[in-house]
Amino acid sequence: MIIDGGLSNALADRGHVLADDLWTARLLRDAPEEIVAVHRAYFEAGAEVATTASYQASVGGFTAAGLSTAEAERLIVRSVQLAREAAAAFPGAKVAASVGPYGAVLGDGSEYRGRYGLSATALRDFHRPRIELLLSAEPDLLAVETVPDVDEAVVLAALLDEYGTPAWLSYTVADGLTRAGQALQEAFAVAAGVDCIIATGVNCCAPGDVLEAVQTAVATSGKPAIAYPNSGETWDAENHRWVGAGSYDLSLVPAWRAAGAAHIGGCCRVGPAAIAALAALPGVR
């Protein structure tokens, strides 16, 4: 499958300022038609899967912004409905409900560090209600993504196994380790015994970190890999901006495919034009 690219950069390119803690989730309330338009742009570019605008959405985050619990729950469900609306015009297109890590809702870059200091029970209590809300809207699968820490992945994998819905499990990594500093073999082993996890791999990492991770993911999990790195820039959490040079290079993709990456796309700062170029590569589909 060809995965879509970054939602935040595509919305920013359409003139939206995403500087508050709700990030893209704010537009579920304020401009839902813009989210549909971005999903549609990625499908037109050749993406086969739309990941929903729920990555940083949580009931707690919405209520902290002044919404009622009922409205917060409605907006999380709405993220799937909006992606489904965009997918309707593209036969075979799928909707993956984004389940971001706990660190994403903190809005301070914690998803690139992990090690939140929470117990497994606390993490389970955070993730379960959101997953249940997303599943109530009947997505095609769950995109459990940008996970920085094996401990959190263990909790998420157990929940996925409980619900039995198809999902992918994707870590953010750097220099051959999870962002929390754990071995990739340990990380990808989490997916090995969970039948509903259809693929495991990496996202929102530098493109140069993908190949080793894909090789390890396939060898350790016995599953196809997924790879959708960011542009190669670095997130400056203090100033809420990306810095550095981009390195999303399509010449790297054939090696990812040969290593076992069956599902490829882009993450932050990778837009529709890059996805169109990816979709046009021989042997990618």
Closest CA to 39 of 59, 54, 53: 53
Q: What is the arithmetic mean of pLDDT over 144-172?
A: 97
Q: What is the arithmetic mean of pLDDT over 261-274?
A: 94
Question: Cβ(202)–Cβ(259) under 8 Å?
Answer: no
pLDDT of 237 reads: 64
Q: What is the arithmetic mean of pLDDT over 108-132?
A: 94
d(CA 118, CA 48): 36
Residue 232: pLDDT over 80: no
Lowest mean pLDDT segment, chosen from 5-19, 155-169, 232-246, 271-285: 232-246
Mean pLDDT of the chain, nearest integer: 93
Residue 65: pLDDT over 90: no
pLDDT of 89 reads: 96
**Residues near 52 by Cβ (< 8 Å), separated by ≥ 6?**
79, 80, 82, 83, 95, 96, 97, 98, 134, 139, 143
pLDDT of 188 reads: 98
Q: What is the arithmetic mean of pLDDT over 46-58?
A: 95
- For 30, the token pair is 């304020």
